[in-house]
Structure 1
Amino acid sequence: MSESREWRPLEVHADAEGLPSGADGVLEYVRSGDFGDLLVKSKAVVFRGFGLAEDTLEPVMDELLPGRLAYLHGTSPRTKVGDNVYTSTEYPQELTISMHNELSYAHRWPSRLMFCCTTTPGSGGATPVVDGVRWLGSLDAEVRDAFAGGVRYTQNLHDGLGLGLSWKTTFETESREEVEKFLADTEAEWEWRSDGTLRIVQHRPATIRHPVTGDEVWFNQADQFHPAALGDETAAELAEILPPEELPQSVTYADGTPIPAEHVIHVRDVALDVAVDVDWVAGDLMIIDNVAVGHGRRPFTGDRRVLVAMS
């Protein structure tokens, strides 16, 4: 693996900074300097000891997330709990969610993500974060070279009954016209199929450069779209039911060549290995640069609740 320098998120502690608890303390810190510049340099900032409550988040989000976005074209199950505020991914708590940059498979993606813990997990449940430069540099050269031409993502979104998410859930609408309007501006290929399924095909790069620093970072979700990430048994069961192009989501190299399972497993495992775990206590908040940093989730017990918003 690469010997890239160690990186950790910047932690801001209310007591150490002499700041009041609650939203006022976070806002005082954020307004005391150029937070945008700080986030670019730090890549992720964690606020500890402010005791933020769910019903006090609105002014913090207004300050940190200008132009808050809906989670349109998302692939993970979550619940909308406010004005473009969602629960974090609702996969079974015993599973690890691999590292990824939010919506990196899409034509547009958020530049910032905010996470706020409102219920401390019984155990585990950290949000691991990974420096995209280190992730890229830690991959085997053979894997980096194989992905150099980019990737092709395919989604099959049913109309209400089937495997995976429906297009209605994915785009938060029951209007085909609204979906078509959204997709018209994405450079994606798409079609409505006779069974009501919406198929979307997108060609995307495997890496991009940060718009401010120019750093090249790993920026794709090939491992999460690949059936190998589901585990050998599940992947085998799905292969007996559906060909790859009919799965709810799948991925190949840009030219249509299959991606070897060992490549996506390598990408997944390297990221989880070099990631830094951010453990949660209720009231903590983290904001990350979504291009510079990937994120995931460790397994947990108990009633963990983390809210997510993006801009």
Structure 2
Amino acid sequence: MEEDRDDAWAPHVVRPDAGTPAGARGLLGLLEGLGDLTGLLARHKAVVFRGFGIDPAELDAVMAPLLPRRLAYVHGNSPRTKVGQNVYTSTEYPPQYTISMHNEMSYAHQWPARLLFFCERAPETGGATPVVDGARWLRSLDPEVREDFARGVRYTQNLHGGRGFGKSWQETFETDSRDDVEKFLRSAEARYEWKPDGGLRVTQVRPATVRHPVTGTEVWFNQADQWHAAGLGDETAAALGRIMPEQDLPQSVSFADGSPIPSAYVTQVRDRGLDAAVDVDWQAGDLLLVDNVLVAHGRRPFTGPRRVLVAMSD
């Protein structure tokens, strides 16, 4: 399939036809007529289902066809709360902050193919979920940045054993069993080290770009800007530097050979991803289905209560 070079890309919006029943019944009937969702997502990259008035109690029913094999958020690095069968709150960062663009778990050996977001409660202002075409994001970067990142990236996590800064390994892997964690990390081709204080250090080398398994499109696919201190802003990075050395931070990143990634690269990646993004403004009952390789996502600041749930599948 030829790469989509349309800079006017936006998620495809599906609304109920006149006479379509409200709620899950109407959406499930429509999904039966859509057929192959993999092909639909390969064409549109992201789809918003709007106006069906999905109630939270109906969420499991509509997830069944959209996410046939729902996954647990094992080895996830974002703070979330599990609220159902492999259903989680979206990242729980303070509302005044922007969450930069990223593909879910692009740092991991395996990542979800699809993500489904559900708006249970829309915020008073702001709070959009921006989405960006990963091929466009890649094209937006300077040639020097793309060339240097072609070496790949090395991610390092420091997970405490129950008390400390950041996430614990128990929370990250949803288990208290060291044997289960080690089995998972060996299968993920990650290096790991148990620390004397009960914590765990995990190191993984991953590519900076990948090609979509259906379209063959090359996309920007890493979280270097989120794992690098420069992505947090100068003041936050300086404050962290005063607390602990970089190698002891909850997460850090370098090029695959261990050489440092320039801060200017990190801010370019972060800012151009956000600049190229299209905002999905939430209405209660909305669903957003994304191809997690073709499309990256983030979050805009907001005011008032906001509750967006997320689930994922392979």
Equivalence for 1:207: 209
Structural mapping, 1:177-216, within 5 Å: 177-216=179-218
Equivalence for 1:106: 108
Equivalence for 2:292: 290
Show structure 1 runs of 5+ residues with no match.
none
Query: What TM-score, normalized to structure 2?
Result: 0.96
Q: Displacement, 1:4?
A: 5.0
Q: 1:160 aligns with which of 147, 159, 162?
A: 162
Equivalence for 1:263: 265
2:187 partner SS: coil
Q: Displacement, 1:161?
A: 1.2
Q: 2:138 aligns with which of 128, 136, 139?
A: 136
Equivalence for 2:23: 22
Q: Displacement, 1:260?
A: 0.7
Tell me if structure 2 keeps the 8 A contact 1:15–1:49.
no
2:82 matched to 1:62? no
Q: Deviations over 1:1-20 (max 9, x none)?
A: xx85321000001146x532
Across the aligned residues of Structure 1 and Structure 2, the Cα RMSD in angstroms comes to 1.1
* AA in 1 matched with 2:39: D
* Distance in 2 between residues matched to 1:136 and 1:256, nearest whole Å: 23
Q: Number of residues paired by the alignment? A: 308
Tell me if structure 2 keeps the 8 A contact 1:4–1:137.
no
Q: Displacement, 1:149?
A: 0.7
1:122 to 1:46, Cα distance in 2 relative to 1, 3 A:
same
Q: Deviations over 1:196-233 (max 9, x none)?
A: 11000000000000000000000000000001111111
Q: Which moved more, 1:56-65 or 1:237-246?
A: 237-246
Q: 2:247 aligns with which of 245, 248, 254?
A: 245
Tell me if structure 2 keeps the 8 A contact 1:85–1:307.
yes
Query: What TM-score, normalized to structure 1?
Result: 0.97
* AA in 2 matched with 1:269: D
* Distance in 1 between residues matched to 2:206 and 2:114, nearest whole Å: 20
* Distance in 2 between residues matched to 1:55 and 1:48, nearest whole Å: 17
Q: Deviations over 1:34-66 (max 9, x none)?
A: 222111100000001001111101121111101
* AA in 1 matched with 2:150: A
- How much identity, in percent, do the aligned residues show? 66
Structural mapping, 1:17-96, within 5 Å: 18-32=19-33, 33-96=35-98
Tell me if structure 2 keeps the 8 A contact 1:13–1:47.
yes
* Distance in 2 between residues matched to 1:167 and 1:49, nearest whole Å: 40
Tell me if structure 2 keeps the 8 A contact 1:94–1:299.
yes
